[in-house]
Structure 1
Amino acid sequence: MQHTSTPLTITPAIEQAIGYFLTPHRPAKKTWSSSLPPLELQAKASIEWPDGESIPFVCHRLGCGPDVLLVHGWESQATDLWHLADAIAKAGFSVWCPDLPAHGHSSGSMLSIPLATQALHSIAHKIDHFHAVIGHSLGGAVVVNALATGLPATQVIVIAAPTHYGAYARQVAHACSLSDSDTTQMLDRLEEMTGTHPDRIAIPEQAATLNQRCLWLHANDDDVVPVEEGIQAVNAWKHAELHRFDNLGHFHILQDATVCHQLLQALARHS
């Protein structure tokens, strides 16, 4: 996809929409149930970001064994994945669970998928290879984007991830009553700020380039990310399977025993 090089005209309404799109609401920080101190790491960010050239963030660790990366979603934090992290660690794995920038115990006020991807790559600098990468919601889109940009991993498990970043940016633009022309300006400005146009972050297109096996877990009644997005992503993936669940929505899926069991089976199968 080619984009115009015409100078952008960024109105206050466009800037406001970008702010809505990139700024999460921060709930109260929760305590991580592990005696291991979090690692202090940094994710590289464009100088366009208000927070400067790098964003400090923390990464929690739990367990010992093959390395597994576990990534939370938008307006969430590592502790929201404690049920899964604890089960994975008890199954014999070392779990790396970051608070993404602007979330949980980490610094920053804004987050994009490109910035979150940089955070995952900075964790990867600490180890050679992930046995698996797991992401819920936006975290699932982040791990796929990280794999597409070279993150070393054997397998991926995605839980209810949105598949088209540009589509969600357009939803915000529509909610902010931007015109079609202003929406185009907004998307191009996001490319300037983050280094990647939102339309280039699309799981079906990225999945076609990946060789990792994928287990996709999604609830049929998910009212945040429709299950149809998961179906589309899995259909484009070379080695992927979709497991669908009833009555778990977007968040209860993280606490369900059957979901956890299937996730652990996948980890053990490719261990």
Structure 2
Amino acid sequence: MDHATPRVKATLSDEGQRLFDLFRRPQGRSRPRPGERAAMEGARWGRLTVGDTAVVTYRWGDGARPVLLVHGWESRASRYAKVVTRLLELGYSPLAFDAPGHGESAGDSTTLIEYRDAIVQLHEAHGPFEAVVAHSFGVTASFLALRDGVRARRVVAISSVPDFGYVVDAFCARTGLTPRLRDELRHRIERNLYPGEADLWTRFSVLTGAADPRPPLLLVHDEDDEVVGPEQARRIAAAYGERARTLTTRRFGHRRILGSPPLVAAVGDFVSTGAVSGGLPGAEAAR
């Protein structure tokens, strides 16, 4: 019996490390799709350093009226190709980046802090922004950056991850973790991914500071989102009150929404006028 206990603890620790590695690393690196290549070939590529990782950036237009595009987890900047085309038509200058471990950037993992740092560097070079357009995990990172001094006249949040705790809870549910392994994962995240971050579970939330002055917000979410339930957009809308507008799409899910006609049209409308048409096909707009 005395010999069995250390073996059990070692097994739990090994499993905890395996799950932590699975959690923090994107599973695969997506490539540009055929329909995205023309937009990406028209971009001016750049580079910045986040920590010790080289991050690839993209710029379009003449630099006037900059709009920052922030991709989500296991995604890349090229997914915004149709949004880029629409913004250019309206006279804006889109900017984007591939987060560490994503797209053309170096590394094999990333954190919200690294996302935030990339956004801050782009803001220092090209801001303030006319708008920030963010998707999924990128929404959480963008709100963190906005609280840390990044300025934007408007924000579009697509398929919003409401807070970092939601990411962890969804991962635990998907992998069927026991309470003990779940607690170990959270401890590893606090100790290894975000050391020194006080109360990260509150700080890394779109809902934190919702009562403070914030730019007008458009929340776009698909009712068939298989990754983040549409009720999360409703939570955020309730917290932001009259400053938030919502647009619900159908049948695009969590990822295909980025290139969908209703989303592209809504981004163009909201960035340029602050309004969203309720007559978009396949979508329903509301306050």
For the criterion TM > 0.5, the same-fold answer is: yes
| CA distance, structure 2, for counterparts of residue 34 and residue 113 of structure 1 | 28
* Gaps in structure 1 of 5+ consecutive residues: 1-8, 45-53
Evaluate the alpha carbon distance shift between residue 112 and residue 268 of structure 1 in structure 2; reply closer, same or farther with a 3 A threshold. same
TM normalised by structure 1 equals: 0.85
Match of 2:125, SS?
A: coil
Deviations 1:233-259 (A, max 9, x none): 111115111111222222232222222
Which residue of 250, 253, 256 corresponds with 2:254?
Answer: 250
Please say if 1:189 is aligned against 2:188.
Answer: yes
Partner in structure 2 of residue 37 of structure 1: 44
Indicate conservation of the 8 Å contact 1:190/1:198, yes or no: no
Indicate conservation of the 8 Å contact 2:160/2:233, yes or no: yes
Match of 2:247, SS?
A: strand
Deviations 1:190-249 (A, max 9, x none): 123224455222222243335111011111111111110000011111511111122222
Structure number with higher helix proportion: 2
Which residue of 15, 36, 39 corresponds with 2:17?
Answer: 15
Please say if 1:56 is aligned against 2:60.
Answer: no
| CA distance, structure 2, for counterparts of residue 207 and residue 15 of structure 1 | 35
**Equivalence map 1:1-271=2 (5 Å):** 11-30=13-32, 31=37, 33-44=40-51, 54-64=52-62, 65-176=64-175, 178-192=177-191, 193-195=193-195, 196=197, 198-200=200-202, 201-238=204-241, 239-269=243-273
Deviations 1:53-90 (A, max 9, x none): x2110111112320100011111111111111111122
Moved more, 100-109 or 138-147: 138-147
Aligned residues: CA RMSD: 2.3
Partner in structure 2 of residue 49 of structure 1: none
Indicate conservation of the 8 Å contact 1:69/1:97, yes or no: yes
Indicate conservation of the 8 Å contact 2:30/2:102, yes or no: no
Indicate conservation of the 8 Å contact 1:91/1:264, yes or no: yes
Paired AA for residue 38 in structure 1 = W
Paired AA for residue 168 in structure 1 = V
| CA distance, structure 2, for counterparts of residue 179 and residue 198 of structure 1 | 22
Paired AA for residue 144 in structure 2 = N
Indicate conservation of the 8 Å contact 2:140/2:162, yes or no: yes
Equivalenced residues, count = 254
Indicate conservation of the 8 Å contact 2:29/2:101, yes or no: no
| CA distance, structure 1, for counterparts of residue 110 and residue 213 of structure 2 | 25
Shift, 1:28, TM fit: 4.6
Tell me which structure has the larger Cα radius of gyration. 2
